[in-house]
Amino acid sequence: MSEKLNHSDISALLAKEAGLSVAKADFFTKALFDIIIEGLEQDGIVKINGLGTFKVTDVADRSSVNVNTGEKIEIKGHRKLTFVPAESLKECVNRPFAMFEPVEIDDNYQDESDDEANGSDAVSEESSENMPAPFNAAEIEEEMPLEDECNGHDEPKAAIPIEEEQARDEDDNVVSNVAGPIASEEELRVEVEEEEEEDTAAVEPTLDETTDGVAMGDYSDDVTEETRDEEPVNEERAGSDNIKENSQTSENTATAQPDDATENDAAPVKKRNNIWRFAIYFIIGAVCGFVAIKMMGRNHASDETSEEIAVNIVSSQEVIAETKNEPAVIIEDSVASATTAEPATPIEEIKASNEGEDYAAYSFILVDELAARSDRDITDADTTLYVTEGDIAVHVVAEDERLAKIAYDYYGSRKLWPYIAKHNNLKKPYGIAVGMELSIPRLQPKK
């Protein structure tokens, strides 16, 4: 292995191989290399069938830079001796690695666009004809010259340029053979370029189709996989849209949420990533549903309250009609107070429920609740009964004030407001107006 053989070694081996005497073989090899050199000097190219081509090539002038000084140097053109091994020799030498072939590398996500282009090529009928062109282009550029030269060898096979005369005869053939492949190569390249231009033209519409999300059964595996990838994206967009709709209007959530569910059910679960995505979508859908339900519930509640407020207005009008003591302006004010009282009612309800009162389960509306309480017993609010003894002060009702708040301000308890109402001869629904004067009684616990 990796011995260095010199001239005499080759001669000995040749003598063994060809059945010549060593002296004759030695003479032959010397003559052979001399002839090769002579042929190179005269014609610039010598081919030996089965070994390869020795060729003198011109190297053009080129400018370079001196690495140390940074000066520009002009390297003058010269001639160089090159050797192109014959295909058979290449194959023989490369036998240990003969089983390997160039493998297309599957790149990660970023290069899928390229795969997409090729995949769509394979799909569309027009481009499938042109499809082999880009693949062959690389192979053609690498292999064609060698193949052509091998073919060129076959023709002058009988007459190998050993002697000068033969070499001269052959050189014409050789040159023509060399010129032939180059021309054909150029043609091939031109053809390949044209075909590839057509390819790109054909690829673009197919790409558009795929981006439109057309998932037909005719597509190849690559394309279907990509459409699978695209589906979740669309779904994601749809999901985000749904979320936005949810945030804007609660009514749309009811309609949008089933869409989510159907999409989740319909989408194929084929990848683990998809499973995760679906899990996320499911969670998002659940959250959206929860929010939607809450929103719906509030709307419903507000509807109820508005209805009840309307009822209250009617009842208050009736009361006013009966009493006729209060001006008509109070009607609006009572409505206003009722509406302003509305937002804080849940808090009151919670507090009341904490106290364990039986009216805690009643409706949201303070007015109704209070009315119900006052019907039963005014002292139902507290376990201890109080007796009113004179006035502490005269309170002028300000904006956003209710009896419960006034009671809290004076007594420290919201529940003691019925005493104020009773003391001022207020009747159901205990409407108070801004600027109204209320006398606040002093409360003494009744023994």
Partner 1 sequence: MTPAETATNVDAFVNVVTERLKEGDQINISGFGVIETKMKKERVSVNPKTGQRFLVPPKIQPAFRPSNKLKDKFK
Query: Which residues contribute to the site for partner 1 (CB under 8 A)?
Result: 1-7, 10, 13-14, 17-18, 20, 28-29, 32-33, 36-37, 40-41, 48-52, 54, 56, 78-81, 83, 85, 88-90, 92-97, 100-105, 107, 111, 114, 117-118, 134, 137-138, 158-160, 162-163, 166, 196
**Nearest one of 339, 338, 337, 359 to 348, comparing CA atoms:** 359
Tell me the closest approach of the beta carbon of residue 6 to partner 1, in angstroms: 5
Peptide bond connecting 429 to the previous residue in cis, omega within 30 degrees of 0: yes
Question: Measured between alpha carbons, how far is 184 from 389 in angstroms, rounded to an integer?
Answer: 122
Tokens of 410: 């004076």
Nearest to partner 1 of 160, 291 (CB atom): 160
Nearest to partner 1 of 52, 232 (CB atom): 52
Nearest to partner 1 of 20, 207 (CB atom): 20
Strand (E) or helix (H) holding 81: strand 78-85
Tell me the closest approach of the beta carbon of residue 48 to partner 1, in angstroms: 7
Cα angle at 203 between 201 and 206, to 5 degrees?
Answer: 125
Tell me the closest approach of the beta carbon of residue 55 to partner 1, in angstroms: 11
Nearest to partner 1 of 9, 318 (CB atom): 9
Tell me the closest approach of the beta carbon of residue 19 to partner 1, in angstroms: 9
Question: Mapping DSSP to helix (H, G, I), strand (E, B) and coil, where does residue 161 land?
Answer: coil
Question: What b/e sequence results for 200-232 when a residue is b if at least 16 CB atoms lie within 10 Å of its CB, and e otherwise?
Answer: eebbeebeebbeeeeeeeebeebbbbbbbebbb
* Range 423-430, long-range pairs (CB < 8 A, 24+ positions): 423/388, 427/319, 427/323, 428/315, 428/319, 428/371, 428/374, 429/312, 429/315, 429/316, 429/319, 429/334, 429/338, 429/367, 429/368, 429/370, 429/371, 430/367, 430/370, 430/371, 430/374, 430/403
Nearest to partner 1 of 6, 66 (CB atom): 6
Question: Measured between alpha carbons, how far is 97 from 406 in angstroms, rounded to an integer?
Answer: 99
Nearest to partner 1 of 5, 216 (CB atom): 5
**Nearest one of 47, 81, 86, 11 to 166, comparing CA atoms:** 47
Q: Give me Rg for the CA atoms of the chain.
A: 50
Nearest to partner 1 of 199, 401 (CB atom): 199
Contact 446, 387 (CB under 8 A): yes
Question: Measured between alpha carbons, how far is 395 from 397 in angstroms, rounded to an integer?
Answer: 6
Tell me the closest approach of the beta carbon of residue 132 to partner 1, in angstroms: 12
Tell me the closest approach of the beta carbon of residue 274 to partner 1, in angstroms: 28
Nearest to partner 1 of 97, 383 (CB atom): 97
Measured in whole angstroms, how far is the alpha carbon of residue 246 from the centre of its chain? 23
Tell me the closest approach of the beta carbon of residue 224 to partner 1, in angstroms: 21
In the chain, the N- to C-terminal Cα span, in Å, equals: 123
Residues 6 or more apart whose CB falls under 8 angstroms from that of 390 comprise 441, 442
Position 198: which residue type? E
Nearest to partner 1 of 95, 324 (CB atom): 95
Tell me the closest approach of the beta carbon of residue 251 to partner 1, in angstroms: 50
Tell me the closest approach of the beta carbon of residue 125 to partner 1, in angstroms: 20
Question: Measured between alpha carbons, how far is 408 from 154 in angstroms, rounded to an integer?
Answer: 115
Nearest to partner 1 of 189, 228 (CB atom): 189
Tell me the closest approach of the beta carbon of residue 40 to partner 1, in angstroms: 7
Nearest to partner 1 of 148, 169 (CB atom): 169
Tell me the closest approach of the beta carbon of residue 15 to partner 1, in angstroms: 9
Nearest to partner 1 of 1, 67 (CB atom): 1
Taking CA atoms, 256 is separated from 14, 157, 172, 201, in Å, by: 88, 80, 82, 40
Tell me the closest approach of the beta carbon of residue 297 to partner 1, in angstroms: 57
